[in-house]
Structure 1
Amino acid sequence: MIKILIPIDFSETSINAIKYAMRLLKDSACEFIVLNAFADEVYSKTNELNSTDFEKFKKEYKKNVDSTLKQEIDELFKLSANLKHRYTAVSRFGSLIDETNRIIAKENIDLVIMGAMGKTNDRSIAFGRNTLQIIKHLKCPVLYVPINYQKDFPKKILFPSDYMMPYKKRELKLVSAFAVSFAASVNFLYVSGFKKLSHRQLDHKLFLDSCFTDNKCAFLQISGKDLIESINKTVDNHKMDMLVMVNQRHSYFENILYNSTIEEVALQIKVPFLVLQNLHR
């Protein structure tokens, strides 16, 4: 059984992410753990309260969160009573990152699925603040779903790589399994002004090839220096419907993310975006 963790803040985007997960994994046996971590909300509303009133407020807030979680899951069952799917609601007084990582470790979560933006749903930026924090600190693959994304299954997966760093097999197995399930092709993209690969790059490319023997693969190369523009154009021009990147030191994704603020991230997330963490788990 696949274990999926879905952090939600009850925004339109987070509810859409749950619905997408249900469609994406409709043929798989899954346990969905739906999490709301609410410490920030409580702290923001209780600055003027004494300790006794703070504890009362926190208790009442948790009761309301539990009730809302139950209502949301009941609504999901009305939409699709899939006997292969099991749902567990979890509310935690803690930070989103800490509580998510605790559940990942305790439940050995295979994948986190969440909306790419939070309650503000500002379409002028690619990621919300919670999303960026999760990308940087979560110890599990994360699939981000753009707001109002409705397509069910990916058919063409784009996987940009410079072939400089080795990947973990567990993470690659997840991508391969997605591609097999939906008969999707996996398209590796190398962006560089140099046509020739080093011996290190060739070894890592061969390793990738060996991990996707069950998949239809293509290795694309674009000459250029603007990585973000190359990715955005490839997604559009080749009609890619899922993007995969690896979050690790000296990777393509680190170059895009860690040197930017939220407003400066120019990667246009129009399709579901799978971020692999490349950690030992």
Structure 2
Amino acid sequence: MKRILFPTDFSEVATNAFVHAVELAKKIQGELIVLHSYDLPPMDDQFFPENFTEVYETVELAHFDLFKDELPKLRKIIEEHNFEDIKMTHRLMEGNFVTNIKKAIEEDAIDYLIMGTSGATDWEALFGGSNSGSVILGIDVPMLCVPFGVAHKKIDTIGFVTHYKQQDKIALHKTLDLAKIIHAKVKCLYVKTTTSEVDIEIIKEWEQTFKEQPVEYFMFQSDEIKQVTLDFIAKEKIDVLSMLTYKSGFFEGMFVANYAKKTTEDIKIPILVMHA
């Protein structure tokens, strides 16, 4: 059985992403592991010898109470979607957010990670060393990032961004594996810029390798990568966009706000972050 890790702080952003997690769990007949991670406040017991333990116990109890109060709300969402047969387990972990996610991935043999983002501001934070950004760059399981306000809908088409590198081929295999499970097709996008060039023979080799797979190829020549991608998403009715993290400059350019071009929209579909 596939396992989906869902870290949450019980915010609206996280709860919105939980619906996507539930729907994916149902589609792949998977199990949900809900993780709430919290840090204890830094204190030095030599300055607060009398109430040091009491302060820590109070903080721990507050997070336990939050966890206990919020979990029924998540179960209600499952019931509202008539998915009561989905198995859901819970983890409450003290410590560093990223460290706990990595630990849970290893200990629970996680196959997918699903998290919420709050739009352009949060995407920008991903590349400024935030917790979520550290997660993206530090794990080796597919991670579905769900922008806040994006309602779940059936995934019929997955877009896959490529530069026709060897790492891309590995990630495309992973994307196709998921597509098969959820009965979706894949549309592969290559944006040829003035600084990039791919030999036509490589493209033909890709097409031969994946000829038995439900994948189509699209190539556009432009330096406006984000706008081309937005047009591609709209025209080809892309439900989820899959891409690799190794192209850090490209990935950043897709999501970090370009204040010189305020007319460019944000990408408003879930992003499936792959790791080659």
**TM bin (shorter chain):** 0.7 to 0.9
Q: Which moved more, 1:220-229 or 1:269-278?
A: 220-229
Counterpart in the other structure of 2:186: 186
Contact 1:26 1:82 in 2 (8 A): yes
The one-letter code matched in structure 2 to 1:245 is: M
Contact 1:73 1:87 in 2 (8 A): no
Asked whether 1:125 is paired with 2:126, we answer no
Show CA shifts across 1:111-156 (max 9, x none): 0011122xxxxx4535254432322223321001122222422222
The one-letter code matched in structure 2 to 1:244 is: S
Show CA shifts across 1:21-45 (max 9, x none): 2223424321100011111xx4289
Counterpart in the other structure of 1:18: 18
Report the TM-score, using the length of structure 1 for normalisation.
0.79
Aligned-partner SS, 2:243: strand
Instruction: Return the alpha-carbon distance in structure 2 between the equivalents of residues 9 and 157 of structure 1.
Output: 28
Counterpart in the other structure of 2:109: 108
Counterpart in the other structure of 1:255: 249
For 1:1-281, list aligned pairs within 5 A: 1-39=1-39, 42-43=40-41, 51-82=52-83, 84-117=85-118, 123-125=119-121, 127=123, 129-167=130-168, 169=170, 171-193=171-193, 197-198=198-199, 202=202, 206-207=205-206, 210=209, 213-215=212-214, 217-248=215-246, 251=247, 254-257=248-251, 263-264=257-258, 268-278=266-276
Show CA shifts across 1:147-203 (max 9, x none): 22224222222111111233475x54442133234443211111114797338x717
Aligned-partner SS, 2:87: strand
Q: Post-superposition shift, 1:93?
A: 0.7
Q: How much identity, in percent, do the aligned residues show?
A: 21
Q: Post-superposition shift, 1:255?
A: 1.2
Show CA shifts across 1:244-276 (max 9, x none): 00112xx2xx11345899555978221111000
Show CA shifts across 1:53-111 (max 9, x none): 33222331232233134323332343245354110111111122110011111222110
Show CA shifts across 1:197-236 (max 9, x none): 338x717x73576357332x21111111232222222212
Instruction: Return the alpha-carbon distance in structure 2 between the equivalents of residues 57 and 138 of structure 1.
Output: 32
Instruction: Return the alpha-carbon distance in structure 2 between the equivalents of residues 52 and 100 of structure 1.
Output: 26
Report the TM-score, using the length of structure 2 for normalisation.
0.80
Does the C-alpha gap of structure 1 residues 2 and 22 become closer, same or farther in structure 2, counting only changes over 3 Å? Answer: same
Q: Which moved more, 1:141-150 or 1:60-69?
A: 60-69
Does the C-alpha gap of structure 1 residues 240 and 163 become closer, same or farther in structure 2, counting only changes over 3 Å? Answer: same
Instruction: Return the alpha-carbon distance in structure 2 between the equivalents of residues 244 and 267 of structure 1.
Output: 18
The one-letter code matched in structure 2 to 1:68 is: D
The alignment of Structure 1 onto Structure 2 pairs a total of residues equal to: 263
Contact 1:143 1:273 in 2 (8 A): yes
Aligned-partner SS, 2:151: coil
Contact 2:120 2:255 in 1 (8 A): no
Aligned-partner SS, 1:157: strand
Does the C-alpha gap of structure 1 residues 20 and 44 become closer, same or farther in structure 2, counting only changes over 3 Å? Answer: farther
The one-letter code matched in structure 1 to 2:187 is: N
The one-letter code matched in structure 2 to 1:96 is: F
Contact 1:66 1:91 in 2 (8 A): yes
Instruction: Return the alpha-carbon distance in structure 1 between the equivalents of residues 104 and 207 of structure 2.
Output: 30
Does the C-alpha gap of structure 1 residues 45 and 214 become closer, same or farther in structure 2, counting only changes over 3 Å? Answer: farther
